[in-house]
Structure 1
Amino acid sequence: MIVSSYAAAPALDGWDPEQEAAFLAAAASLPHVSGLEIPLYATGELHKYDGDWFLKQVRHLPDHLTYVVTTIPDTMDRLARSPDFGLASTTEAGRRAAMERAAVAAEAVRTLNDVLGRRAVRAVHLFSAPRLGAGVAGASSGVKELTESLRQTAGFRWDGARIVLEHCDAAGPSHAPVKGFLRFEQEVEAVLATGTGAGVAVNWARSVLEDRDPGAPVRHVERASAEGILAGVVVSGCSSQATDFGAAWDDSHLPPAPVEPASLLTPQRIRTLAAAVDAGLDVTGPEPYRGLKVSAPPGSSVLQRVALLEESIDAVRTAGF
């Protein structure tokens, strides 16, 4: 599976190149890891502190690894400064800025592929920012803009990487959103309208957070599979109570239960999710990749972080994912 290499990394607590290198090498070498999810930051680099350092490190990682680039750190940084930023923005400036950042992501993909001497990046995760009400005028707005943005980004030089729209929780009337982007149905509509071969990715926790409904991820997988656009499914937990990983109902990337007992991502829910993915394989086109995204409590050692990843991989595989 594709494992997030940054959500549990020591760099989230501060910069220690030796610890970061040890963690990256250990995470990449764990059993059943076929690739890594890596982030694009506001600097345009693929590491929070030192992009050149990261590019040197990946040369020493196993040759079989593939990579998924996520633009969520860059997206959230831009939104903090420009609330109308996003591919679904109804302001010209907000959408233009997001298109420019997508071009930066494409350049980062080409750079990584050049360093590795192969088309190692299989997908790039883009997002349907901004939040409802910030550059998106109403519940039905943003779809047209997102569709046009995805059509335009398809013309960038992605060097073999697939454009994938990863769903985050949407704004709703019952509670404050974590991300607050477009609803899943709107994103599916936009992806289908592009006709470009783009796909969607379902992150278990982010689908749950939308309506605080643990049944939502399976419905999202089934819908995307039926439309033939399911590109990836990521297991990542959340909780209705505060934990060492973060606040209640936050996108804190909790490990699955029983690794984190308070996690709503239980073995039975993982089995149900895996069954939904398997049921859609005949109609979804290329088999979607399966991912794992978990964080680590602040202050964790490298050994603790790697052990947490290993335990989480074992838990989701035991549950059939």
Structure 2
Amino acid sequence: MKYYIGAYAASPNQTGWNPQLETAYYDELKQLPNIKGLEHPFLGKLHGHDDNWFLANIAPQWDYVFTCIPGIMNALGRNPQFGLASCNTAGRQQALDFMQQACNAVAKLNSHLGRQAVKAVMLQTAPARDQAAASADALYQSLSTMQQWDWQGAQLLIEHCDAYVPAHVPSKGFLSLSDEIAVLNRLNTVSDQAHKMGIVINWGRSVFETRRPDGALEHIMAVQAAGLLSGLMFSGVSDQDTEYGAWRDSHQPPQSSELVQHGEPGSWMTEQAIHQCLAAVEDLSRLSVLGAKIGIRPHQASVELRIAYIRDMLAILDRYC
């Protein structure tokens, strides 16, 4: 099986932009046989630094899943009321404008490759509920509007981020999973098959929310029971104060072991936990999104080391898929 990789999280360009270094990184990514394509970050235009560089360096056979969370977090830094679920009219319109830009970027990438290369667009249900008012009804209105746009066949998916939980400081603090499920169940009853939406579970973000390794598995089961499970991305988290930080959405690699040489000892995302989640999915082949997104520490790590971490992560998936 082949997988999507959130390559941007493991990029050597975390604090600046060196196109030569990024080219070397992409050249190595192209040599990995089990990469289906990229989970690609959307920040307002096709590539955060240089659209032309991106188009010149991607593998022509790769497929793409856009994730809007980097751009959403940037926008929230400027306006806490930004978001598709915002009860603030201006904040919700800003989020719709941002998603229209994402739609345009989908068309640009597809046009360059001459095919429907973008398979899905993952959106997130901002704003943070400890900072601004948000509601399921506002999200429903936003999604109803977006369904009228030409996404060129790309499926719209909600990536569940950690919901606001009063017991601890959130990373994202967006809508609850139950709200997201309710909105999509309501929306899908009035949508044709081509526009039906689903939910992607990110392992680390579900564990961040629940503060339990089994939290991700529970979220997978809940979404699957609702008939909405469309994707699974593996990204780690931990309570230990390492270079990745305690309880930070820093995309920790899997826990190191005899089989996983390039990992993070304190990561809660063990090979066993990954296996349990994969085994719980009724049909992995029907998922629109399956893959991993890991960050690398230290930030000065070589391209070769970054690729080794990615290779070990994908090897875990290969052992169970």
Q: Same fold (TM over 0.5)?
A: yes
Fraction of identical pairs, as percent: 38
Contact 1:3 1:292 (C-alpha < 8 Å) held by counterparts: yes
Query: Which residue of the partner structure matches residue 304 of structure 2?
Result: 303
Give the Cα separation in 1 of the matches to 2:31 and 2:187.
38
1:33 to 35, 45, 51: 35
Shift of 1:210: 0.6
Give the Cα separation in 1 of the matches to 2:238 and 2:229.
25
Contact 1:28 1:35 (C-alpha < 8 Å) held by counterparts: no
Structure-to-structure mapping, 1:194-205, within 5 angstroms: 194-195=187-188, 196=191, 197-205=196-204
Query: Which residue of the partner structure matches residue 290 of structure 1?
Result: 290
State whether structure 2 residue 260 is matched by structure 1 residue 267.
no
State whether structure 2 residue 116 is matched by structure 1 residue 119.
yes
Query: Which residue of the partner structure matches residue 259 of structure 2?
Result: none
State whether structure 2 residue 156 is matched by structure 1 residue 154.
no
Over the aligned positions, Cα root-mean-square deviation in angstroms equals 1.5
Query: Which residue of the partner structure matches residue 18 of structure 1?
Result: 20
Shift of 1:143: 0.4
Shift of 1:286: 3.7
Query: Which residue of the partner structure matches residue 224 of structure 1?
Result: 223
Give the Cα separation in 1 of the matches to 2:87 and 2:15.
36
Q: Which amino acid aligns with 1:257?
A: Q
Deviations 1:52-106 (A, max 9, x none): 2112222xx142x210011111100100000000000001011111011111000
Query: Which residue of the partner structure matches residue 135 of structure 2?
Result: 142
1:250 to 244, 248, 253: 248
Task: Compare 28-37 and 207-216 and name the one that shifted more.
Answer: 28-37
State whether structure 2 residue 41 is matched by structure 1 residue 45.
no
State whether structure 2 residue 170 is matched by structure 1 residue 170.
no
Q: Which amino acid aligns with 2:269?
A: L
Contact 1:230 1:288 (C-alpha < 8 Å) held by counterparts: no
Query: Which residue of the partner structure matches residue 69 of structure 2?
Result: 72
Give the Cα separation in 2 of the matches to 1:294 and 1:133.
27
Query: Which residue of the partner structure matches residue 180 of structure 1?
Result: 173
What secondary structure is seen at the aligned counterpart in 1 of 2:8?
coil
Deviations 1:262-321 (A, max 9, x none): 1101111111101111x3x39xx9434311000111111111111111122113333x14
Q: Which amino acid aligns with 2:163?
A: A
Question: TM-score, normalization: structure 2?
Answer: 0.91
Shift of 1:261: 1.4
Give the Cα separation in 2 of the matches to 1:274 and 1:182.
25
Contact 1:148 1:194 (C-alpha < 8 Å) held by counterparts: no
Give the Cα separation in 2 of the matches to 1:153 and 1:222.
27
Query: Which residue of the partner structure matches residue 233 of structure 1?
Result: 232
Equivalenced residue count is: 306
Contact 2:120 2:288 (C-alpha < 8 Å) held by counterparts: no
Contact 1:88 1:95 (C-alpha < 8 Å) held by counterparts: yes
Shift of 1:21: 0.9
5+ long unaligned stretches in structure 2? 257-262
Question: TM-score, normalization: structure 1?
Answer: 0.91
Give the Cα separation in 2 of the matches to 1:243 and 1:47.
30
Shift of 1:28: 3.4
What secondary structure is seen at the aligned counterpart in 1 of 2:106?
helix
Query: Which residue of the partner structure matches residue 98 of structure 1?
Result: 95
Shift of 1:134: 3.0
Query: Which residue of the partner structure matches residue 54 of structure 1?
Result: 54
Give the Cα separation in 2 of the matches to 1:288 and 1:224.
14
Deviations 1:204-253 (A, max 9, x none): 00000012121111111112222222111001111110223x21011010
Query: Which residue of the partner structure matches residue 211 of structure 2?
Result: 212
5+ long unaligned stretches in structure 1? none
State whether structure 2 residue 280 is matched by structure 1 residue 276.
yes
Give the Cα separation in 1 of the matches to 2:15 and 2:95.
28
Task: Compare 46-55 and 106-115 and name the one that shifted more.
Answer: 46-55
Give the Cα separation in 1 of the matches to 2:15 and 2:96.
31
What secondary structure is seen at the aligned counterpart in 2 of 1:299?
coil
